[in-house]
Amino acid sequence: MRLIAFFGLALALAAGACTSNDPMGDDEAVNCAEETRDDDFVVGLQKSGQNGAINFTLMTATPAPPLRGDNTWVVQLNSMSGGVVGAPITGAAMTVTPYMPDHGHPSGKTVLIEAMPEAGQYQLAPINFHMPSLWETTLDVTSPGGNDNVVFRFCIPS
């Protein structure tokens, strides 16, 4: 019986670790100046995909830099060959997954992807960072030019 009570208490404490009365999430203070695993935010941040098939560029972020709540990004996808950036990628299918590695959970909102008029550009919204901490946002792309993925890591301040 004690074992059941212990596991019940442990489960309740674990569930409460990622909740609070604040509708935006946890009020725990986060000092992003001390975070070393994140990317330095700049408009135009470029990253090569893990397979080297796609170059990802963060064209815009609203708000900039990313903050708690709903964010909107526009990314540019370009083909890559031998490390050289090529033509814009149109007709891509993409999934976007914001994830808190320190807490082990996603944001809980579905990110909608919309092709923009500019070739190779896609709007991603809402990218929801409901708690302060490090967030990893993974973009998985399937396209006629190849399949690839990338992770953008940003610290969201309190």
**pLDDT of the residue at 17:** 47
Output the domain CATH number for residue 75.
2.60.40.2480
Cα–Cα distance, 1 to 66 (Å, whole number): 47
Contact indicator for 116, 108 with CB cutoff of 8 Å? no
Query: Does the residue 15 lie in any domain?
Result: no
Side chain identity at 65, as an amino acid letter? P
pLDDT at 12 over 70: no
Lowest mean pLDDT among 10-19, 36-45, 55-64, 90-99: 10-19
Determine the Cα–Cα distance for residues 158 and 147; give it in Å rounded to an integer.
Answer: 35
What's residue 23's pLDDT? 44
Amino acid at 156: I
Is 99 domain-assigned?
yes
Say how many C-beta atoms besides its own lie within 10 A of residue 152's C-beta.
23
**Tokens 């990628």 map to which residue?**
89
- Tokens 């901490």 belong to which residue? 133
In a domain, 131, yes or no: yes
Helix (H, G, I), strand (E, B) or coil at 50: coil
Instruction: List Cα–Cα distances, 95 to 27, 58, 80, 108, 139, in angstroms.
Output: 29, 15, 20, 14, 6
Q: How many structural domains comprise the chain?
A: 1
Q: What is the pLDDT of residues 44-65, one digit of tens each?
A: 999 999 999 999 999 999 999 9
Q: Is residue 78 part of a domain?
A: yes
Element (DSSP H or E) covering residue 158: none
Look at residue 48 and tell me if it is in a domain. yes
Q: Is residue 33 part of a domain?
A: no
Let me know if residue 2 belongs to a domain.
no
Average pLDDT of the residues in 35-49: 97
Which residues neighbour 119 within 8 Å (Cβ) at sequence distance 6 or greater? Answer: 88, 90
- Inside any domain, residue 113: yes
E strand or H helix that includes residue 20: none
Domain that holds residue 43: 39-156
Over range 14-20, report the average pLDDT: 44
More reliable by pLDDT, 26 or 70: 70
